[in-house]
Structure 1
Amino acid sequence: MLIHRAREAGFAVGVALIVSVAATSAYATDPTPKWCQGVKIAAFPGGPQGGVFANNVYNGFKQAELDLGPSVTYYFSDWDPNKMLTQIQQALATKVDGIATYGFGGEAATAPMVDQAFAQGTIFTTLNTSLPESQKKYSAKGFGYVGAPNYAAGFALGAEAAKRADLKAGDKVFVWGLKGQGGDRGQRTVGVIDAFTKAGAKVIYQEIDSATNADPNAGTATFVGVMGANPGIKIVVTDHGGLTSNVGVYARAASLKPGQVFFAGFDMSPNTAQAVKEGYQNLVIDQQPYLQGYLPILNICLTKKFGFSGLDVNTAGAFVDSSNVDAVAPLAAKEIR
Structure 2
Amino acid sequence: MKQKFTRFAALTAATVGLSLAAVSGASANEPTAKWCSGVKIAAFPGGPQGGVFANNVYNGFRQAEADLGPEVTYYFSDWDPNKMLQQIQQAVATKVDGIATYGFAGEPATGPIVEQAFAQGTIFTTLNTSLPESQKKFSANGFGYVGAPNYAAGFALASEAAKRSNLQAGDSVFVWGLKGQGGDRGQRTVGVIEAFEKAGAKVIYQEIDSATNADPNAGTATFVGVMGANPGVKIVVTDHGGLTSNVGVYAKAASLTPGQVYFAGFDMSPNTAQAVKEGFQNLVIDQQPFLQGYIPILNICLTKKFGFSGLDINTAGAFVDSTNVDAVAPLAAVEIR
TM-score of the alignment, normalized to the shorter chain, above 0.5: yes
Matched AA of 2:307: G
Taking the aligned partners of 1:214 and 1:299, their CA distance within structure 2 comes to 29
Structure 1 pair 116/197, CA: closer, same or farther in 2 (3 Å)?
Answer: same
- 2:45 paired with 1:45: yes
What SS does the corresponding residue of 1:274 show, helix, strand or coil? helix
Taking the aligned partners of 1:160 and 1:26, their CA distance within structure 2 comes to 49
Tell me what 2:326 maps to. Answer: 326
Cα deviations by residue, 1:18-59 (Å, 9 ceiling, x for unpaired): 98875543222x110000000000000000000000000000
Tell me what 2:70 maps to. Answer: 70
**Which segments of 5 or more consecutive residues in structure 1 lack a partner in the other structure?**
1-14
What SS does the corresponding residue of 2:103 show, helix, strand or coil? coil
What SS does the corresponding residue of 1:111 show, helix, strand or coil? helix
- 2:287 paired with 1:287: yes
CA displacement at 1:231 relative to structure 2: 1.0
- 2:156 paired with 1:156: yes
Taking the aligned partners of 1:299 and 1:288, their CA distance within structure 2 comes to 17
What SS does the corresponding residue of 2:28 show, helix, strand or coil? helix
Structure 1 pair 166/17, CA: closer, same or farther in 2 (3 Å)?
Answer: closer
State the aligned residue count: 322
Structure 1 pair 150/18, CA: closer, same or farther in 2 (3 Å)?
Answer: closer
- 2:219 paired with 1:219: yes
Which ranges of 4 or more aligned residues in structure 1 deviate by more than 4 Å? 15-24
Taking the aligned partners of 1:291 and 1:37, their CA distance within structure 2 comes to 21
Tell me what 1:26 maps to. Answer: 27
Cα deviations by residue, 1:288-328 (Å, 9 ceiling, x for unpaired): 00000000000000000000000000000000000000000
Matched AA of 1:199: A
Structure 1 pair 274/120, CA: closer, same or farther in 2 (3 Å)?
Answer: same
Matched AA of 1:226: V
Q: Percent identity?
A: 86
Taking the aligned partners of 1:262 and 1:136, their CA distance within structure 2 comes to 39
CA displacement at 1:17 relative to structure 2: 11
**Which segments of 5 or more consecutive residues in structure 2 lack a partner in the other structure?**
1-15
Q: TM-score, length-normalised on structure 1?
A: 0.94
Tell me what 2:3 maps to. Answer: none
Matches within 5 A, 1:1-337: 23-28=24-29, 30-337=30-337
What SS does the corresponding residue of 1:139 show, helix, strand or coil? helix
Taking the aligned partners of 2:62 and 2:315, their CA distance within structure 1 comes to 18
